[in-house]
A and B are shown apart, each in its own frame.
Chain A
């Protein structure tokens, strides 16, 4: 079966750095996405990785290792507005997105 695993909840302090991990087992791989979803709102696209390595976009970075079936999302200089759920999703061989259950990130002052 296809499976995406990520922690259910994480807590971090404003101004700090947090890393959210995601491991996957899917039938085929055509890229990995990270989305942010604030409570009661739509998921919004954060990043896309299809090759191994680190993609940096401002305070957010995403890393991929295809051989390990592993990705992480790194958030730096945390702000209160970063409190949200972060969803990991993999595009499988049929170009369908397989989703993780999301990681709820709580930022404390």
Chain B
């Protein structure tokens, strides 16, 4: 596989469930990101990992917990979510040492919280 992959593509969960989103990149990048995309709003950066170390946490509620076991994999653990957390969750990766530093995105997980 090439590029950035995300699983699952769709997820429906109740407020008391625990679930995890998975992201994998095959681009040899060392930076990975989680974004939340809600309708008609800018992409919201949630977490950033550089060389497996978390470097940004933009005031994200603790019901979202990231994990980065290596530079190719990124997880987002979900627990006790609220209906307003329903959104498209996008994973991205980039080469932090590159000249342009464009981010490559996965297809996203469409999350619905009931």
Contacts and interface: CB of A to CB of B under 8 A. Distances in A.
A91 interface: yes
B101 A96 contact: no
Interface stretch (B37-45, B61-69, B70-78): B37-45
Interface in B26-45: 40-43, 45
Contacts, number: 43
A81 B97 CA distance: 33
Given A31-B100, A95-B96, A42 B42 contact: no
Which bucket holds chain A's interface residue count?
20 to 34
Contacts of B96: 95
Nearest to B48: A96
B1 to A, nearest CB: 14
B90 interface: yes
Nearest to B107: A42
A60 interface: no
Contact of A31 (B41, B90, B101, B105): B101
A36 B40 CA distance: 15
Interface of B: 4, 40-43, 45, 48, 56, 90, 96, 100-108, 110
